[in-house]
Amino acid sequence: MIDFVKILFEGKESLPVLFKRNLIKEYLQVLILSFIYSRKEYRNLVFYGGSCLRHCFGLPRLSEDLDFVDIKGSVNLKIFADDVKKFLEKELDIKISTKIQKFRVVLKFPILHELRLAEPSESNLLFLKIEIFKKFRFSKNCKIEVLPLFKFGTSVLIRTFDLSTLMATKIRAILYRKWEKTDKKGKTLAMVKGRDYYDLMWYLGKKVEPNLYCIEGIKSKKS
């Protein structure tokens, strides 16, 4: 992996460290997508969220999360974590570690020091998250598309919702997600995620109409 990443950086040596980290994350995300959609146990997962918009529709923002809906509710997260770990270790020839948090698998890649993307006093770990949700009941009646993705020499057929439904999932998140950012003393600093509104503005700029059938409590654009 290290040799391939160095190739990714050719001509980009002067770019900021954050850009280089994000480039690696994007490469790793494509590998994970390739794994998922090449395995019969996982190929029915439906990709959505900010990373889906980035890879499939050109959103100019990178998210470190890969979000999926498990419509059939058949994926065992522990087995999935073990499978993706084995695949990545074989593909990249490095040892990685995983951690499971409810519906999330956190992948930890010990590569930053060797790539000079972190100071010796900083963590050597690059993190990626895979989130798999089973309780999106609305999604059973929504249109699913298969879209081609070709990046970093890898070709993948992605299963995702149509843009109208994807926009509805973002509006649902803005309306119903309980989240807040606090400081060390517990003081609330923010109650909304800026990335949600960034993505919503992207949809509006594309003149996408949301699939209102996928938003609980909403019957029309005026309600």
Q: Tens-digit pLDDT profile for the chain (223 aa)?
A: 667 777 777 777 788 888 889 989 999 999 999 999 999 999 999 999 999 999 999 998 888 789 999 988 889 999 999 999 999 999 999 999 999 998 999 999 999 998 889 999 999 999 999 999 987 666 566 788 999 999 988 999 999 999 999 998 888 888 877 656 666 666 655 556 778 889 999 999 999 998 888 777 676 666 5
Task: Please report the domains of the chain, with CATH numbers, ordered by start residue.
Answer: 2-161 (3.10.450.620), 162-223 (no CATH)
Nearest to 169 by CA among 210, 133, 201, 217: 210
Global pTM reads: 0.88
d(CA 165, CA 90): 36
* Structure tokens, 214: 């996928």
Contacting residues for 143 by C-beta, under 8 A, at least 6 apart: 161, 162, 164, 165
What was the pLDDT predicted at 174?
82
Burial of 13 (0-12, 13-18, 19+ CB in 10 A): exposed
The beta strand positions in 1-50, using DSSP E, are 46-48
Nearest to 196 by CA among 221, 168, 173: 173
